[in-house]
Amino acid sequence: MAVPAGRLLPVPTGLDLVDAAALPEVVCTVWSNVFMTANLQPGETLLVHGGGSGIGTMAVQAATAAGARVAVTAGSAEKAAFCRSLGAEVLVNYRDEDFVERLHAATDGRGADVVLDTIGAKYLARNVEVLAVNGRLVVIGLQGGRKAELDLGALLMKRAAVIATSLRHRPLGEKAAVVAAVREHVWPLVEAGRVRPIVHERLPLAEAARAHDVLEASSHTGKLLLTA
């Protein structure tokens, strides 16, 4: 199968090909949304929902390397602790803690400058509530539904923005621009060991069904890799 050259990345120095396969999708997702779209700046606070996921673990590393303060939601103490090891400072167990209260307490009431959200409708109102003035909410997933009521007055008061994006349906030129930015900004961090692929488990392709079971149970941290 032929692939446009602009969508290819070299294997970073120091990684084998299989572990390197855990990088392109999550790095391109994080870089395009958190940095190119939401324009996260050093010193700002990023809230990542699902900090123990493949996207979450990459967002924590990239934002920390960029000088931002990172908060995460996670479903267990173990996942939260792992996020801390990657650089997250504010850890919220979403099963028994309210992330809005925790973020406001941790930021002296300011909130999060950027929120990276894979949940969608279920978290929309609270995501807007947790945003700081001039905050940016980037929705990249709909695990919690597609439709919710949005308080436009809250957005106006905060001069905040709600943005929904995806990589899959972008034109080829936009995808190539994302890949080029990742190669310029993130690949040096990978080769320096400051950002790394987080691989929960390698599974043979014949065990793809088991991989889906692990994902649905949310018992993994980072990525699952299927190998031929």
User: Is the whole model's pTM more than 0.85, yes or no?
Assistant: yes
Q: Where are the beta strands (DSSP E) in the chain?
A: 45-48, 69-74, 90-93, 112-117, 131-139, 161-164, 199-204, 223-227
- pLDDT confidence band for 151 (50 / 70 / 90): very high
pLDDT at residue 219, as a whole number: 82
Domain 20-164 is of which CATH architecture?
3-Layer(aba) Sandwich (3.40)
In tens, the pLDDT along 67-98 reads 999 999 999 999 999 999 999 999 999 999 99
In tens, the pLDDT along 164-200 reads 999 888 999 999 999 999 999 999 999 999 999 999 8
High-pLDDT (> 90) share of the chain, % = 89
**Could you give the 3-state DSSP secondary structure of residue 190?**
helix
pLDDT at residue 169, as a whole number: 87
If one counts every other C-beta atom within 10 angstroms of the C-beta of residue 156, the result is: 9
State the average pLDDT over residues 38-42.
98
pLDDT at residue 25, as a whole number: 95
